[in-house]
Each structure stands twice: as C-alpha cells, then as structure tokens.
Amino acid sequence: MSMYPEYMVAPIREDLTSAGFEQLMSAEEVDQALKSDGTVLVAINSVCGCAASKARPALKMAVSAADKKPAKLVTVFAGMEQDAVAKAREFMLPYPPSSPSIALFKDGELVHMIERYHIEGNELHRIVDNLKGAFDAYC
C-alpha cells in the first residue's frame, strides 16, 4: 500500500527520471539492477524537503558534471513501492533505513553510502563533491 497518491509523487519521480534515472517498481527489478556488473547509483527518493532541496539537485548536478559516471542510474521511491524499497535497503545493510539516501554499487557490492543525515545537514556543493569523489574512485 502506498503512502501518497500517485498524482502527488509523479512530478517528484520525474525530477530524477528526466535526468536519466530508471524508476524501479519491484523487488525483482532492484535485485536484477543491483546484482549486475559495473557501477550502479541508487537513489532512494522521498517527498521530504531535503530530497527536494539537496538530494535530487545534488544527484543531477554530480551526474551531469562528473567525468566518470556510474554505468546505471536507478531510483526507488520511499513510501510508494514498498517491496522495491525494502529490497534496495537489504543491499544497503548494515546502514539503517534512510530516505532520502544515495548508494553506489560496483559489481553488486556497496562501495559508497550517503545517508539522510549526510544530506539534510550539509551544503549542496559538499554532497555533489562527495558523489563526484565516489564516481572518481569507483567508476
């Protein structure tokens, strides 16, 4: 069961899908994406203010400005596709559930994690730099 009506989250989803992120809707899609070879950037999207003001803008800025980029960009939406989000969070253990959050995987292994507290209490340019640094190191 979804926490929000689809008409409310549609523009929030589009904020990332229009920037090249694939919206994953099921646990199976998440499993397939995160077990794949190469690098995968996962954004757990949210309706909260820090997702709107920092997480999504940082993701878009980092991906567009980075010389090295993840091979695949995917997103799941907290409060909506609960099975997909739960599966993504399984891959992100031992980190606790957090939304928004951002994770980078390489060959199915979690190599970099940005939790909500790294997002909401931080400046936008620092989040962008954090992501670009992770891209340089792992992509």
Taking Cα atoms as reference points, which of 127, 111, 104, 106 lies closest to residue 51?
127
Catalytic residue selected from 19, 25, 47, 48: 48
Q: Is 48 a catalytic residue?
A: yes
Provide the whole-model pTM.
Answer: 0.94
Please report the pLDDT score of residue 3 as a whole number: 85
Assigned CATH topology for domain 6-138: Glutaredoxin (3.40.30)
Given 50, 52, 111, 113, which residue is catalytic? 50
**Domain ranges in the chain?**
6-138
Helix axes 82-91, 27-34, angle to 10 degrees: 30
50 catalytic residue (yes or no): yes
CA distances from 115 to 3, 97, 131 (A): 21, 9, 12
**What confidence score (pLDDT) does residue 4 get?**
87
Quote the CA–CA distance of 4 and 76 in Å, as a whole number. 14
- What average pLDDT is seen over the chain? 95
pLDDT tens-digit profile of 82-132? 999 999 999 999 999 999 999 999 999 999 999 999 999 899 999 999 999
Q: Is the dihedral angle over the CA atoms 45, 61, 49, 118 positive or is it negative?
A: positive
